[in-house]
Structure 1
Amino acid sequence: MDRPTQGRPPRSAVAYAQRMAEALRTETIGGVVVLVATAMALIWANSPWGPSYDALRNAVVGPMDLTLYQWSAEGLLAIFFFVAGIEVKEEFVHGELRTLKRAALPVLAAFAGMAVPALFYLAVSWGVPGAARGWAIPMATDIAFALAVLAVTASAMPAALRVFLLTLAVVDDLGAITVIALFYSEKVHVLPLLGSAALLAVYGFLQRRRFRNVAVYVALGLAAWSLMHESGVHATVAGVVCGLLTRTGGETDGSPSPAGRAAHFARPLSAGLAVPVFAFLAAGVRLDPASLGSVFTDRIALGVVVGLVAGKFAGVFGGAWLSVRLGFARISDDLRWRDLAAVSVLAGIGFTVSLLIGDRAYPGSDRVTTAVLTSSLIAAALASALLHVRVQARTRHDVP
């Protein structure tokens, strides 16, 4: 029987925590946790105790007078974007983005998958007062949800399909955070922004000098985040920049790289805490008949649905097809166009970043949140059906 040592948790508790962290590093578990958090928010918000959900979401806590929702959107999501930044850096150094030839297909598909949904949204909502503010809502793919659906419904598909989706998602997440910084930030205050940039430069310099004190990096990251918030630029930008600056090369003693160690620690925090808490505090909207009906009658909400469901497919698949036809890229020998068509529909799961941009464009708007949830559900259902058909075709050795 394990006995706790003075000042230490029981070994069984440590082992359980380690198993939980390992589970949260898988796409399937992370996606399920976010789905549960979303369902809990919807149930609570639509129950007789709905006002208490709103009170919790808008409660002001902490030293910076931020609400719990703001802490989740700017604070906790900085962890999510830190992990995304590391993933982008890994792709550039070791993965699909390492060479232009290998990167061309998912990168060009990602760029088209950002531009075309915005055009679909604007086409549907054109002429509605204030509609132009939401042009970027349907541009990003939710990494956790999309990879979770792929893992659950199509684990038998070639690994090249997952690599395509992962690269696509991290590129358009990087694009989305750039859009947030440029177009959805408040009035920019120069001095705090310069201070944040200076701290991030120190972070990058210490990485290059192979400095290994984790506490110093955490302090620099927190200080840079705080100054970024004070500058008026969305504070999650500090998270993604820290991820991009973290060194991916191994240590001279053979130990894992700083990026590998940081991702190993931060990914469970992102999947098990940051994204689920944000989803819980963002997704609690009223789902009465009037609210659901407005998704298909309100042109801003309808533009979000059309942008994510139809625009994402047209952009991702069209961008991939055109890049191959023009000779800029080539499709993997393991994949068929029907495989890419199915995963292009899956890219319409916007969720995390779409909710974040939606709140910046239309603060407190339930119609946009409902539209993002509805379109993500439609995209997930359609993609699951298409991927199931592709798996069945491959199982029969009939792969047209």
Structure 2
Amino acid sequence: MVRSATLADLDALLALEQTCFDSDRLSRRQFRYMLTKAHARILVHDSSGAVGAYVLLLFSRGTSMARIYSIAVGPALRGQGVGRALVGAAEDEARAEGRISLRLEIRSDNAASQALFRGLGYRQFGAVADYYEDHMEALRFEKRLTPNLRVEQVPVPFYEQTLDFTCGPSSLMMAMKALDPQLELNRTLELRIWREATTIFMTSGHGGCGPFGLALSAWHRGFDVELFVNEEAEFFTDSVRSPIKKEVIRLVQEDFLAELRAHDVPLHLSPLNLGELRERFERGGIPVVLISSWRIYGEKFPHWVVVTGFDERFVYVHDPFVDYEEGETLLDSLNMPILQEEFAHMTRYGRAGLKAVLVVSRRKNANG
């Protein structure tokens, strides 16, 4: 039978790791963490008290996505449909958690595993070179657990932020690349946009990028940009205690605003609701949205994401931050499905409930 694992199964889980894998093995400490602290579930195949297979599921915080992190079937159970049964149980668990998609990586030389998942309706949507300890490539697979949902998406290339404070430039770069495939995404561009758009100071550490500076960066690179904020406010000053730092942020943002007005960049002092956001997306704009990271990462800091699609229930985003400490990979940051109601709550930052959206599009007037 298939059941949830407990701490009493640790020895059996470690034995399976040793038997089934030559590298990239989970340790006792990792298994214990997955069983006691992580937003995860381990299911085991138990035959008369003997654990001969397992599947490990991870659930992304704040999104409607799950991931099969690892699956192992001992030699004695192979060829008996145990792997298929575990995957089916994992899909049931994911649905019970309200998840609409299940993803995983498979070694490119593991033909048997690829055949299993393809036969269960998983589709390959990407690959990652040098993914495993032995440098083997990983193939990315996904299955929609609610196939009746009609998703409207655009192919937005993914770019991972390389520094803690460059989510804004990285999100903007993804939006611009979707509109101009010739644009080269690299760390030089990431840092250049950060230098152009930074507010100099934040609550601590390096300055973050506000909506006004990011809008100018897009405009100067030949894109039209429409900016929506809920007030012409000083972004990110609530938690800055130093009066000198507050004054610097105010002066920087006043300078940004003056330049935006000089270039006639549309600035609306009213936020977009989800219907309006989707309408602009369907017209060809790529929204870059400010969110509070609390609901995804459990930490209160401003964060930028880029919208990649919509369906009847979800907003899909690329998140440039990959939370490796929680066992995530790039796979978890691509086209993250977020319930529309949850997304509406996310798009407010700080005590003032600041809202900001940049809608980036191709420039209508090439001489503008």
Bin of the TM-score, shorter chain as denominator length: under 0.3
Larger strand proportion, structure 1 or 2?
2
TM norm structure 1 = 0.22
Larger helix proportion, structure 1 or 2?
1
TM norm structure 2 = 0.23
